[in-house]
Structures are given as C-alpha cells and as structure tokens.
A and B are shown apart, each in its own frame.
Chain A
Amino acid sequence: MAQYSLTVNNKTYQIEADARMPLLWVIREIIGLTGTKYGCGIAQCGACTVHLNGNPVRSCSIPVSAANNQKIITIEGLSADNSHPVQQAWIMEQVPQCGYCQSGQILAAAHLLSRNPNPTDADIDRAMMGHICRCGTYPRIRKAIKTAARLMQQKASVK
C-alpha cells in the first residue's frame, strides 16, 4: 500500500492503495465516482475511459501508481454544468439505450472534437473503434458527434 495524490475533476484526493490497483477501481471504489464503468478489464471495450492529462486512456489498465500527481477528468467532470456540447448532442440524437458504455463513448467523442472540430466519417471510425456499444448505438453516436461539432461551431461563432 502506498500514498497517492490524484486530481480528479479538478479536486485533489490523497488516497492509499495497492500500487498495481487499476485507476478504474480507485476512481470507482476509493474516490467514489461510479460514472466510469468496468466492461472488460483489458482495454478492449472503452467503458472505463477517462481523460488523463487531456488524453483518453483506459483506466482499467493503468495502475494507480502511474497516475500519481496527474490530472484526471471523468464523465462527472466533463463539464461544470453537464452542458458539454457532446452531452447535449447525445440527448438531441437520443443515443443511449442501456447507457452503460456511454461515459466512455462521450469522453472519446469530446477528445476527438477538441482536436478535430469537423471530423469525417473515417475520423469518427478511428476515434471510436476502441469503444464497444453492445446495444448498437453506433449510427446515433456518429450523428451525435456531427451534431456536437455543429453545436461547438455555433458556440464559437457566438463568442
């Protein structure tokens, strides 16, 4: 067991954990944020995706020791008031079915759009292919990413 300092959603936590404990379980069971999901444990499904220093990573496969003193954003911290354009677009396009994978999908989409404000279908395929949706919401995710891109452009032009 060792001490770690993690900044999750702009709040710093001092925690004690086994060095090899995956960041996923630290976030879910020590910090207590359950929006980050367990799906496979081997970085295949993307349900556990969080942003680590701004990049999407699979929290199931990162030991807590590797996240010490780093900045993590989970689905709960994607926006201060839940109004991130990707979240809005997910509602507008009625994406979720069971909803279990959507935290990871949304974080992947938000990262894609932060780097590429106008993604093509091929860009979307590349950015999202690490994420499994067992309910088959893929066509709606694709539409919602394009809708979010438009929302972000509108927001930018208002500013």
Chain B
Amino acid sequence: MKTALTRRDFMKVSTLAGGGLLLSFQTGNALAALLPKDAEVFQPNAFVSISPEGLITIMAPNPEVGQGVKTSLPMLVAEELDADWTMVRVEQAGLDTRNFQRQVAGGSGSVRSSWESFRKAGATARQMLLEAAAQKWGVPVSECITRNGFVIHQPTGKTLNYGALATAASGLEVPQEVKLKDPKDYNLIGRRMVNVDAWNIVTGKMPFGLDTRREGMLTAMVARPTFGKKLKSVDDTRAKQVKGVKQVIVFDNKVAILATNTWAAKKGRDALRLEWEAEGTPESTENYNTAFAELIKNTTQEPKRNDGDVNQALSQADKVLESVFYAPFLPHAPLEPMNFFAHVREDGAELYGPTQTPARTRTEAARVLGLPEEKITVGMSRMGGGFGRRLQADYSVEAARISKLAGVPVLVVWTREDDMQGGYYRPAGMYRYRAALKNNQLTGWHLIAAAANSANASRENSFPAGVVPNFRVDSHNYQSPITVGPWRAPNHNFIAFAEESFLDEIALELGKDPVAFRLELLEQAKTNPVGHVAYDPTRYINVIKTAAEMGNWGQQGVKGIFKGFGAHFSFGTYVAQVADVSVQNGKVKVHKVYCAVDCGRVINLSGAETQIEGGIIDGIGHMLYGEITFKSGEVEQKNFNTYRLIRMPDAPEIEVRFINTNAEPQGLGEPGLPPIGAAVANAIFAATGSRIYRLPVRLPGEHSKRSF
C-alpha cells in the first residue's frame, strides 16, 4: 500500500498502467458504466479513471473560457468520489456527444446541467471502491467508509487507498442506484480551490488556440469584406512575391493567404490589391438609430407580454413617466482574437481551437465540407475569453473551408482589426419605457423596444413583471446587414440597466427610497402576483436587503461619494449591487461595489467570486466606454486605441457575499454583469442630477433627456 506519494510523484505518471478503474458518463443519464479493460475499446476522453498508483484522472468535457468549469465540474466528481484532490489530474475532453451532454460554454449553464450527473459519476466510483475493499477484507460494505482517497474498515481501522482497489473495483457490477452525500459532509464543494490550469497559466505553459502547432501546418490570414460589400476583383501578384507566402485562395467573397508564419501571412495580405463593391446600401450608425426611433413610437401586433390593459392605465394615470434608453453595438473583443486549426482530408477532418460550441462547429463544418459528422473531430483549446463570440462557428468553419481548398493543415489567425470588424455584435437598440402612476402607485408599465436583428430585444418576464397590474412589452426587430449574436448575458446586459434606471426614476417621482420601493414591489409579488412570476420574490428580497446592508445603503458616507443601487435576476441567479461613485470634472470614478449573490450552492468559492468580480468590471467598462459605430458598413473602432476597454485605474474594489443556501447551483458566468450599469448610473444621478439614458456614459450634461 502506497500512502505517502506526493503530488509531484503522481504528476509523473503519464499513462494508465494495466488495470485500474475506468468509468464513463453514459449518454442521456447519470449512470456510470464500467468498461472492459481492453484499452482498445476505450473512449479515453469520456473517463474518470483511477490508476493502480492512485492517480485519478477526471475529464473536463465543457469548453473552458475563463469561467472556471475545468475546475468546478471535476470538483463535483471528486467530492462524491471522496477523492484526495491532490491526486486528481484534470484533462480537457474533446467533443464527444455520445458520452457527454451539453458541451457548451454559454447560458451560464455548465454547472447547472452537470450538477446531478457529475456527482453521480463520482458516487458510483466510490461505491465500487467500497465494495472492492469489503470483498478484499471479507467484511460487510456497511462497515466501510471512504475518506480522502481511502476506504476504511471502521471496526478494525484497516485502510486501503483507491489505487490499490482500482483493479478489483473494475471487475464489479456497476451499481444502478447510488447515494449522494449529505451537503454537510462536503469537503470540496463550497471551498476555494485553485484553478487547475493556474500554474500553467502563470508560467506561460498553457496552450491557447493561437498556440496550436502541427506538422506541415500553414498559417492563414483572410481578407474579408466589410458589411454589405462584395469582392469585385483580386490582384495577388505582389502578395505571391512575399517570402513565405505559399498559396492565395479566393473563396466565399474572401481571400486567404497561406504562409509559413503569421508575419508572412500578414505581409502577403497587406500586399493584396482588392476591389470591393457595395451590395445594397451599406449601413451607418445614424441609419439604424433613426430606424429605432421610428419603430419605438408604435406597438407591435404580438406583444411579448401583456398583463391587464396598459393603455387604459396610461390614459387614466395621474402622471406618466417616459424615458428612452439607447444601447450601442458592442464587440466581444476577447483578448485572444479568433483563430482555429483545421486539417481536412478526403476521408475526414480534425478541427481544434477555441470554441464555446464544439457541437455547432462540427455540425456546420460537416455541412460545408460535405462530410458526415462522425468523420470530424473537434478538440477544444483553452480560450482567451469568449463572452459569446465563440458561440459562433464562422471562424472555425472558415478554417475548415480553407484547409479543404488548400489541401494542407491550416491555422487561421485573425488580427485584432479582423476581430473587431468581423464581429457578431451585441445588438444596438432603443428602449422606450412608460410608467403609469396613480394614487402614488405604479399601475402600468410599457416597454417598446427595437433592436438590430433581434426577434426579442427584451426580457419580458424580468422584474417588475409580475407585480405591475398593467404590464406590456413590445419588441421590434430591425433588419440590419450587421451580424449580431449573444454577448455576455444577452438582453439582460442592457435591459437591467434600463429597467433598474427607470425604476429609480419612478421611485424618485413617488418620493420613495429606491431600495424600499423595490422591496415594496417584491412584497406585492409574494402577496398579489400578476401573471407569470419568473423569479422567487423571497430570494430577490434577500439579496437586495443583503447588498443594501453591505453597502450601508441610506447612510451618510464619505463626502463626495454617492451610492447607486441595481438588482437583477438572470440565469437562475439573484444579484444585487450597491456602487459607491464620485463624479469630478465629468469623470466617473467607481470606488467600491458591494454585491450580494444568491446562485444556489456555490461550487468553487474563489471561482464564483472571480466570475462575479469579472462581470462587474466588464459591466463598468462597457457602460463607461463601449461603443462600436459604423460608417457605410465599416466598423469605425478597429483596435484598442480607438475602442476603449476598462483598465486597472478604473477597476473598483469589490466585495462579494454569497447567500448561504442549500438550493441547487445556478449560473455564475453572466449574472454579475447586468445590474452594475444601473447601480453606477443611479449613483451618477445621485452625484450630478444627470440621468444616464445612453451608453456609453458621456458627462456632463448632454445626457439629460435627449431625443435620438
């Protein structure tokens, strides 16, 4: 029995020695299946495995984009396995739809969708190790327990480590039912665990997509059209003369330069002489803004939600408040630009790189390559951010197209300028809110939204839906040539800003404290709900009260620092925030943010904290600076010199508190972002009397009610 091996010893064990316990997650359910020991039939990326040396390898099936799932999901397995975390090695799995479910980084859904199945997989392995030990000792299983990588026979104190039991356990029947731990016995869940890739990251060893290197690989750069332009003519004479340039391929209204390195590919692309011509009318920012302003004047045929009679409420009101909020296009701008590796052969293809949706990548690649999906493998690199951009498959499919046409393995590299201009942007939109006030009550609420290429630009069930007797949401879809896509907390990322700002305006009009006003409405949601209530008012109230207490809401603070409040429910998680803000000479400074979160059970506490902190910083940065504008179809902000991202001096101190609860875990990658815009904007109003209607914030003055 080996008991004193250090992690360093185990890290040297690179292959599974003969035998060992191997488990996989079966499609569609949480049962783990014992696989035969013949290595040739294994599907290695689907296993939890334990080597005879005690090394536990847990596969991380979901794409890692910085949200921490490569750490938190294996923690679920290790918790129920009662593993010694120092003996656990985590490996990134590739796309494997037979063995894994929902390999997606999106919708803040990884933990939510894996919570049951991952724990059961761990518990199944643990149960088999218990039975193997009991057989070995000839004692009843009921006399055995597990602790930190060992099975212990309680009456005698005999112990065996998991490695010593792995081979025996692999010969046992897989139990159909397993018992999950009582949460009070958790050793890992809820603790602060170090990101499993952290050491590789801080030493520069962690490979990202752009670091992919393969035998015979060429690097490609692509000349792409701006929005609404078509390739008219190509002169590649000079491009082909650039040393290192191997091929020039014209395809799909684009031109690819393949070269022996990135610099040569870029020089080759710069040397292309291309003519583009307009297809239709390329769009400029004033075009869509004018269109939005027109659309929000009228309702739609099919409201997204319609409680009571909002027209009657507005016509019978003592007072009607009306505000229009404006959302600009935003790029995702992950720090690692788009890139993907593809090697397309006649009989199949290998795709590898940063993707939030490997399954979509495979499906779309299969379609353009004319290959069956089972002939295509998709591997996932760690991603240098995504924020929704890598939910798209345009850049990975483009790599596949180029590899097929060129007949070589290829890494397609986008420059920052390509990335900023070739986006699937957060849609621009306009949100017109009206509130009916009667007898000092909020009796009606009407939102008419219009946004680019958005079937629904709203979140119609978002609070205060469920408490206002006459509540209507209309949403116009404005067709634009500009491509749009999900951007961290889609719709929530702007709706929360607009509705929580408008709620403050209403509270002010009614002479009520903004926090007290929200609490009063949520009490009504408990006692007198209207229509479908998509949130739990009690949990909402709890985070609001907690944040208010953390942020000393209602108390006199430091002179010159003003408080603003915002709260929002998204992806199953309740978040409330108080922002301490000062405004001097038109410059907004966020000093501190207090944030209360109810996301159900927290898995990795430090991972959870970083997600909330990151969401807050992201939200502040984009509200202060983020805007993409267009001129004749061309993006005007092409790099970080003209597109401003938040930097160190603007980052506030952040205090996060999670509500202690036994509720099921909910989303965390996105919910921290939505409320901060309103919390900061409401504080700006407290500081200056200027209400922010248009993002990004521009002070002073011009943002008080304006027409668009």
Contacts and interface: CB of A to CB of B under 8 A. Distances in A.
The listed residue with most B CB atoms (<10 A of its CB), out of A22, A30, A38, A142, is: A38
A37 B208 contact: yes
A42 B263 contact: no
Contacts of B65: 98
B653 interface: yes
A54 interface: no
B207 A34 contact: yes
Contact of A135 (B199, B203, B614, B647): B614
Given A45-B335, A138-B651, A139-B653, A94 B610 contact: yes
A139 B654 contact: yes
The listed residue with most A CB atoms (<10 A of its CB), out of B202, B333, B336, B607, is: B202
B201 A99 contact: yes
A100 B335 contact: yes
B247 interface: no
Contacts of A44: 639-641
A39 B336 contact: yes
A16 B379 CA distance: 33
Given A94-B606, A99-B197, A74 B204 contact: yes
A96 B649 contact: no
Contacts of B611: 97
A40 interface: yes
A34 B201 CA distance: 11
Contacts of B641: 42, 44
B657 interface: no
A102 B207 contact: no
B648 A25 contact: no
Chain A binding surface, main DSSP class: loop
Interface string B14-54: 00000000000000000000000000000000000000000
A102 B335 contact: no
Interface residues of A, number: 58
Interface stretch (B345-353, B615-623, B680-688): B615-623
B203 A87 contact: yes
B602 to A, nearest CB: 14
Contacts of B210: 34, 37-38
A103 interface: yes
A135 B264 CA distance: 31
A101 B383 CA distance: 11
A3 to B, nearest CB: 15
The listed residue with most A CB atoms (<10 A of its CB), out of B66, B192, B337, is: B66
Given A39-B336, A129-B649, A98 B384 contact: yes
A138 B195 contact: no
A9 to B, nearest CB: 10
Contacts, number: 183
A140 B205 CA distance: 21
B277 interface: no
A131 B647 contact: yes
Nearest to A74: B204
Interface string A29-57: 11011111111111011010000000000
A18 B263 CA distance: 9
B603 to A, nearest CB: 14
Contacts of A29: 219, 261-263
Nearest to B244: A18
A91 interface: yes
A67 interface: no
B335 to A, nearest CB: 5
A37 B199 contact: no
Contact of B208 (A100, A128, A137): A100
A78 B211 CA distance: 19
B518 interface: no
B335 A90 contact: no
Interface string B313-337: 0000000000000000000011111
Given A44-B641, A98-B385, A139-B613, A91 B202 contact: yes
B610 A42 contact: no
Contacts of A134: 333-335, 385, 387, 618, 645
A21 B383 contact: no
B455 interface: no
Nearest to A34: B211
A149 interface: no
A29 B210 CA distance: 11
A97 B267 CA distance: 33
A96 B646 CA distance: 17
Contacts of A25: 261-263
Contact of B194 (A30, A38, A40, A91): A91
A97 B604 CA distance: 13
B416 interface: yes
A37 B649 contact: no
B652 interface: yes
B425 to A, nearest CB: 16
Given A40-B640, A99-B206, A136 B385 contact: no
Interface in A60-114: 74-76, 78, 82, 87, 90-91, 94-103, 106
Nearest to A97: B66
A8 interface: no
Interface of B: 65-68, 192, 194-195, 197-199, 201-208, 210-211, 213, 219, 243, 261-264, 267, 333-337, 382-387, 415-417, 606-607, 610-611, 613-618, 621, 639-641, 645-649, 651-654
Given A44-B639, A139-B653, A142-B648, 19 more contacts: A21-B263, A29-B219, A29-B262, A38-B210, A39-B335, A39-B336, A41-B416, A95-B202, A96-B201, A98-B334, A98-B336, A99-B198, A99-B201, A100-B208, A101-B335, A128-B647, A134-B618, A136-B621, A137-B613
23 contacts: A29-B261, A30-B261, A33-B204, A37-B384, A39-B336, A42-B641, A75-B204, A90-B202, A94-B192, A94-B195, A94-B607, A96-B198, A97-B68, A98-B335, A98-B382, A99-B198, A124-B648, A130-B647, A132-B647, A135-B610, A136-B613, A136-B615, A138-B647
